[in-house]
Structure 1
Amino acid sequence: MNNESCLQWFCRVAFWEGVSTVILFGIAMPLKYLADMPAAVTYVGWVHGLLFMLYVGFLALAAVKLGWAFKRVAIFFVASLVPLAPFFVERSLRREAAAA
């Protein structure tokens, strides 16, 4: 995997991880607690967990391949824990890639 494709994959995963967070908090959890539908959290939570692991994996891969500083990697990791922050990661990386 070359540097460009690694960055593209990380951007894609960051975007979808953000989408899964929005769906989990905005749709699945209200369905669980307001409509007594716990299966929504079970399935969306599973997908969100998988995307989170992919996010962290691609973050590590990009950090090694692109030589990112520890501070940047730490900020991107913390962003994975904050709802909506992966969208900002994805957008900043796309801008960076377009400028290169």
Structure 2
Amino acid sequence: MLKIFRLTAILEGVSYLLLFGLGMPLKYLAKIPEPNIYIGYAHGFLFIAYVILALLFCVEKKWGLKMFIILFIASLLPFGTFYIDKKYLKPLTV
């Protein structure tokens, strides 16, 4: 489960950066909305998957509500899931 959660965290972070770093400027500055649609769908799916996996992972590891809130807030911040992966998830693989 750790590998899947880590992969989802990284992909969610990448999709977030693509959505706001590429999709939004294309939509509002270049008037090209199509990429935003597909990136948005992918990001939405990955965000939901990340939150569900974060909840399941916190239950599995008995981390509690505080850690789940940290994981959830990280998903709302740019580069947040990368930080979570480096600080909390990667040390578990060693």
- Please, what TM-score do these two structures have when normalized by structure 2? 0.93
Native 8 Å contact 1:12 1:90 kept in 2: no
Q: Which amino acid aligns with 2:56?
A: L
- Please, what TM-score do these two structures have when normalized by structure 1? 0.88
SS at 2:15 equivalent: helix
- Corresponding residue for residue 91 of structure 2: 95
Mapped to 1, the partners of 2:86 and 2:7 lie a distance apart of 10
Gaps spanning 5+ residues in structure 2: where? Answer: none
Q: How many equivalent pairs are there?
A: 93
Gaps spanning 5+ residues in structure 1: where? Answer: 1-5
Mapped to 2, the partners of 1:14 and 1:60 lie a distance apart of 13
SS at 1:35 equivalent: coil
Q: Deviations over 1:2-60 (max 9, x none)?
A: xxxx1111111000000001101111111001111111111100000000001011101
Structure 1 residue 95: Cα displacement: 2.0
RMSD across aligned C-alpha pairs, in angstroms? 0.9
